[in-house]
A and B are shown apart, each in its own frame.
Chain A
Amino acid sequence: MAEKSEVVNFMDYKLTADKVNVWYGNFHALKDISMRIRPNTVTALIGPSGCGKSTFLRLLNRMNDYIEGFRMEGHILIDEKNIYAKRVRVEELRKEVGMVFQKPNPFPKSIYDNVVYGLTIRNVRDKKTLDEACENSLKQAALWDEVKDDLKKSALALSGGQQQRLCIARTLAVKPTIILMDEPASALDPISTAKIEELINELKKYYTIIIVTHNMQQAGRISDRTAFFYLGLLIEYDTTANIFTNPKEEKTQSYITGRFG
């Protein structure tokens, strides 16, 4: 089953990883990973704990830079630009590549201050611009109707699901083109999870989304393509339909049917 988009040329890839290797000290965490991701798609990264999928995700906005003993070889290109080149400023890269974490991590400040934080640190001071950004981002994250009457309320007073959507709104406010999500629904109840999944489906129109998930059904529901990682190797990377109905590798087959993991 070939996707229509398969015929588009290489220039149309949003993100390209080329022979990426990562070490933490002596531990070889990622081995020769190469993959390409198209714009406006959802890519799911699956695999058992410790397989390297989160490491790969955090490579894309350089969050691994803070880990002691981290070393990387290979290239990661976003819009044809090497994000590990010397002249790249991580602050600017992270404007392009937003991230939502596993546990909702709002700042202990008001809802409003949370959403506009990414703008205020870039010296946006104009009240009207901030207000608009706040409203638009909260609307896009499907949280506006629940919080619009009290934007000064502490973000910590929101429910877990609301907090996670606030974190998504906060990420959107900076206007990234790629959003990384590290198991964004694993700490949430089923209803909140459904809302997040619905949201991801909506956001796909405007953003390229890469999501780590432990939940096979979730990967099946929301992603266009799925990458299966195992022991630091990218075992298989294909359309989600193929991975789940017709995997080429035996390892993939055993993992998605729950024989290990």
Chain B
Amino acid sequence: MNNRQKDNLFKYWAILCTCIGILMLVIFLTNILITGLSRVDWAFITSLPSRKAELAGIKTALLGTVWILILTAIIAIPIGVAAGIYLEEYGKKSRFANILEINITNLAGVPSIIYGILGLEVFVRTFGLGRSILAGALTLGLLILPIIIVATREAIKAVPKTIREASFALGASKWQTISKQVLPAANGGILTGVILALSRAVGETAPLIIVGAATYVSFTPNSINDEYSVLPMQIFNWISRPEKEFAVNAAAAIIVLLVITFFMNGIAIYLRNKWQKKVKW
């Protein structure tokens, strides 16, 4: 076999591999769409759960997801971004910062169910928050914290040193340089990271099972202390039922969940492109 043939062989192999990945996604999506699309309508989204499959809807789960998402964002974004700024701008040289850094990298690799166990022990039991939205959001907040921290650091790192120097040389203090030059320039990157982290939180099931998200809630949440369900929990619940009609409901709920995550990823990609275009050094 000569070099050109090897070249071609490799090319076709690569195309084949790509196709396998895409094919899986296509099969999965068509399967879901065929099963569930006809079930997705306004009534499905606005109905409470029910023992009768054709009457059941995702209202409580969807609202639960929205509550959890917003609360998780409120908890995780300020802490994550601030931690990222500290590690990148202030704590560079200390041993303490080194230890923090290693731990954060490790945290990003911890399986999500471990966060669930942590959340159960700390938030649900020790803090006595019970099976509340707050306990769930705190747990998911911890889960996505490393992602936000890493994204913040990467975005800050991408701001050229020359911008910092220029700011310092004009007599700006460190905080002025960070708040007026570095953060505005890093904004797009940070926001992208935050959205990707939140879209991960939307799909998480395991930690919420442990901290007690309910599979059946017949009322919509009114405060952060209420019981709640989320879309992945609802899907999980319906899938495990014997009746075939509930499988259709599950497929429909999966479509809604997919739309939410695709939408969030879309915003992230849009922001990234816009940011890359705007800032050319």
CB-based contact A174/B171 at 8 Å: yes
B180 within 8 A of A: yes
Please tell me which one of the listed residues A61, A68, A91, A95 contacts residue B93 in the complex, with CB atoms under 8 A apart.
A68
B166 within 8 A of A: yes
B197 within 8 A of A: no
CB-based contact A121/B165 at 8 Å: no
CB-based contact B166/A94 at 8 Å: no
Which residues of chain A from 166 to 205 have any CB-CB distance to chain B below 8 Å in the complex? 167, 170-171, 174
Which residues of chain A from 59 to 80 have any CB-CB distance to chain B below 8 Å in the complex? 61, 63, 66, 68
The verdict on A95 contacting B171 (CB below 8 Å), with A63-B165, A121-B176 known, is yes
CB-based contact B162/A101 at 8 Å: yes
Query: With the chains together, A90 CA to B173 CA distance in Å?
Result: 9
A127 within 8 A of B: no
A3 within 8 A of B: no
Please tell me which one of the listed residues A94, A106, A156 contacts residue B169 in the complex, with CB atoms under 8 A apart.
A94
Please tell me which one of the listed residues B163, B171, B172, B180 contacts residue A105 in the complex, with CB atoms under 8 A apart.
B163
The verdict on A99 contacting B171 (CB below 8 Å), with A107-B163, A108-B185, A121-B180 known, is no
Q: Is the interface of B mostly helix, strand, loop or mixed?
A: helix
CB-based contact B171/A91 at 8 Å: yes
CB-based contact B171/A118 at 8 Å: yes
Query: With the chains together, A99 CA to B167 CA distance in Å?
Result: 10
The verdict on A101 contacting B165 (CB below 8 Å), with A122-B171, A171-B170 known, is yes
CB-based contact A105/B166 at 8 Å: yes
Least distance between A140 CB and chain B CB atoms (Å): 16
A31 within 8 A of B: no
B278 within 8 A of A: yes
The 0/1 profile, CB within 8 Å of A marked 1, for residues 133-167 of chain B is 00000000000000000000000000010110111
Least distance between A155 CB and chain B CB atoms (Å): 11
Residue with the greatest number of chain B CB neighbours at <10 A, chosen from A90, A98, A117: A117
Nearest CB in chain B to that of A66: its residue: B168
Least distance between B180 CB and chain A CB atoms (Å): 7
A92 within 8 A of B: yes
CB-based contact B279/A121 at 8 Å: no
Which residues of chain A from 82 to 131 have any CB-CB distance to chain B below 8 Å in the complex? 90-95, 98-99, 101, 103, 105-108, 117-118, 121-122
With a CB–CB cut-off of 8 A, which chain B residues contact A170? 166, 170
CB-based contact B170/A103 at 8 Å: no
CB-based contact A98/B170 at 8 Å: yes
With a CB–CB cut-off of 8 A, which chain B residues contact A98? 169-170
CB-based contact B162/A94 at 8 Å: no
Residue with the greatest number of chain A CB neighbours at <10 A, chosen from B160, B165, B278: B165
B280 within 8 A of A: yes
Residue with the greatest number of chain A CB neighbours at <10 A, chosen from B165, B170, B181: B170
Least distance between A164 CB and chain B CB atoms (Å): 12
Nearest CB in chain B to that of A62: its residue: B168
A-B contact pairs, 23 of them (CB 8 A): A61-B169, A68-B93, A94-B169, A95-B171, A98-B169, A99-B169, A103-B162, A105-B160, A106-B166, A107-B167, A108-B163, A108-B278, A108-B281, A117-B167, A117-B172, A117-B180, A118-B170, A121-B172, A121-B176, A122-B171, A167-B166, A170-B170, A171-B169
Lowest 5 A-B CB distances belong to which pairs?
A105-B162, A94-B171, A118-B170, A99-B169, A105-B166
